[in-house]
A and B are shown apart, each in its own frame.
Chain A
């Protein structure tokens, strides 16, 4: 079973708009991570938020974590065509880290 599940499965926006992706998980975690995957490439780590953190920023990325709702969101502000990719969350506990099926983001120029 998947620990992390992203929503929506696909998202299409115009360049300059913000993109929000959500992740839900099932059990308690130590941290939650977001990764990006460009077509035909490996995953690239974007940001890690620990279970005792509520919000974290990295450039145009903002991640929130709500452990009471077992959910996280990734916000990409002022999106660019180069942000077109699949985005995955990965929920990690002491002994396991599981990825969701991803959100496919398309940013139209």
Chain B
């Protein structure tokens, strides 16, 4: 999985609780991404980062925040989890020549269940 780890790999939580997912890379890639994968929707981009402390919103960013204080770590936070955020979350990295629409390398995923 291209030197990308995600933690935790599985989490069950209750509605209204905060949740933080971590993505760690050892490839020193500039770009990092958080996606969610739901049946019938493919992958949808939540947030991405193009450098330390540089982040931007994706297609489905409502209810999520991110932080990147080091090149190797990208955190995704659900401030108050809802059942609609039950999903599989994937982190990805890339070192694109331009923009961020270049080859991406994915982590193993985190399965989050919000009860």
Contacts and interface: CB of A to CB of B under 8 A. Distances in A.
Interface residues of B, number: 23
B103 A42 contact: no
A43 B42 CA distance: 11
Given A88-B42, A98-B59, A102-B42, A45 B90 contact: no
Contacts of A42: 1, 4, 90, 92, 106-109
B41 A97 contact: no
A80 to B, nearest CB: 22
B90 A43 contact: yes
B103 A99 contact: no
A93 B83 CA distance: 32
A98 B92 CA distance: 14
Nearest to A95: B99
B103 A2 contact: no
B99 A99 contact: no
B99 A94 contact: yes
Nearest to B1: A42
A74 to B, nearest CB: 15
Interface of A: 2, 4, 30-31, 33, 35, 40-45, 48, 88, 90, 92-102
